[in-house]
Chain A
Amino acid sequence: MIKTFCKTQIEVKVSEDGYLEDMSQWNEEIAHEIASEIGIELTDKHFEVINYLREKTEAKEPLTIRKVGKSGIVSIKELYQLFPKGPLKYSSKIAGIPKPTSCI
């Protein structure tokens, strides 16, 4: 599926549920657009989490809520406050990385 972001007019490939398929197509403007669709306004703290998620994904390390909670950037509680209702699902979507598959 191709999705065009209206503000930036950037075309990116996304999965059925809206996750970027190629994380290199991501930029901060796209992040802001995805976030506003979800109803989140991004702050510097959000971006600290987003950058952490992107770094770990590039290093091919699997992501879990537990892992983010131990990252030293946010506690699990804070992660929930930043991304209510879907801490890992929404943060991954905004970070332009694949939907987390920590569940087997």
Chain B
Amino acid sequence: MKNLLILGAGTSGTMMANHLVSKLPKKEWSITVIDQFKTHYYQPGFLFLPFDIYTTKQVKKKGEKFIPKGANYIQKKIELIQPDENKVILEGGRVLDYDILIVATGTKIAPGEIEGMDGPMWYKNIFDFYTYEGAKALRNKLREWEGGKLVVHITEMPIKCPVAPLEFAFLADSFFKNKGMRDKVDITYVTPLGGAFTKPKATEALHHLLEEKGIKEVTDFNIERVDYENNKIIDYAETEVEYDLLVTVPTNMGDELMERSGMGDDLNYIPTDKATLQTKDHENIFAIGDATNLPASKAGSVAHFEAEILTENILRYIKGEPLKAEFDGHANCFIETGNGKALLIDFNYTHEPVEGTFPLPGIGPLKLLKESRTNHMGKMAFRWIYWNMLIKGRHIPFVSTNMTEKGKHFETVEK
């Protein structure tokens, strides 16, 4: 009997277990999923929790429910990977041998990287919304907040779901409008990037939306420290931004397990081949989702597209066939813009988001890079799709793994 281990039961790990359980011969392969936490969170929901759009119940379920019956599930912390001996050591000393290892340990916030961020004011007037705890604490704060300077801030790139902080700023604008207190709130968007987003076309569209909603932008801001006594963030060039309420996206880092095991880069992400998803140092170790160092967005949609290619590559690897170098960096994200509307963007390693229709070329019904109510409905429907189709590894109709260029308005096709 051979062993395939999956580390992490988040979006990627759960999807891989569901894909592989039906593809690998049961008599030859045993599949085991390991994760230290019992709850599986619907992470896109953390954006809506602070504004009371989603309830806490809508964003969490018991993780074990989504692990297929044919796979083993161990709820334990992973202590160490010993890649040269093909072993994984769990907390308490239990040793698991593997023939194939899939690392899906994700990324998490590391507020301790910035001086003063997770100090005495953490969850008092400094919040994150990338964790369940942060989003919930922020919800309680927003329920009673009487206004002032709201600063929405990104610490450094890369971050999970790079559009989320923008969405947060847009939703905050409509949240305060609906509460009849928009005039009491000053919203500033502070980013280390040169503009609102990482891709030029989308940056232009998003910049207009920020302007339209009266949200100020501070760009090229590389934070050095939070002066929590005087409510200011200060960057390396000594620029200061004052806040009454700071909503920050702290530095994102891969799991510390990578550092302990000597497998990560300086942010604990695993060097991974961007087309095959095989790790660069070990041929029987594959990585997926936020845990990799791929130059793609850290997002559930990316993990979903990766899972289909990784499944095929695992099967090829087992048969001794060459791997398919096919992952193109495809990402597909809804961007909530407030007031019941949303944008949709679709892009990959080489093509930036442009206007057009999705998923059916020329038909839609969703429009790319344009605000619409249909896009918002799409985002809201996605929660159901996530729990019922996506993590169960079911194919989503009409949405292809590789990005299609049809129905899109490219001015020039890049290299």
Chain A positions within 8 Å of B, measured between CB atoms, are: 62, 64-67, 70, 76-77, 79-80, 84-87, 89, 101-104
Contacts and interface: CB of A to CB of B under 8 A. Distances in A.
Contacts of B298: 104
Given A79-B236, A80-B236, A103-B158, 15 more contacts: A62-B293, A65-B156, A65-B222, A66-B156, A67-B266, A70-B266, A80-B222, A84-B237, A85-B220, A85-B237, A86-B220, A87-B236, A102-B158, A103-B192, A104-B296
Interface residues of B, number: 20
B377 interface: no
B82 to A, nearest CB: 26
Of B156, B194, B236, B267, most buried by chain A (CB within 10 Å of CB) is B236
Given A66-B267, A77-B224, A103 B237 contact: no
Contacts of B11: none
Nearest to B331: A104
B149 to A, nearest CB: 24
B193 interface: yes
A52 to B, nearest CB: 14
A76 B224 contact: yes
Nearest to B154: A103
B371 to A, nearest CB: 23
A70 B113 CA distance: 13
A81 to B, nearest CB: 9
A61 B158 CA distance: 15
A80 B223 CA distance: 12
Contact of B295 (A62, A65, A79, A87): A62
Contact of B162 (A64, A65, A104): A104
B220 A102 contact: no
B157 interface: yes
Contacts of B236: 76-77, 79-80, 87
Contacts of B158: 102-104
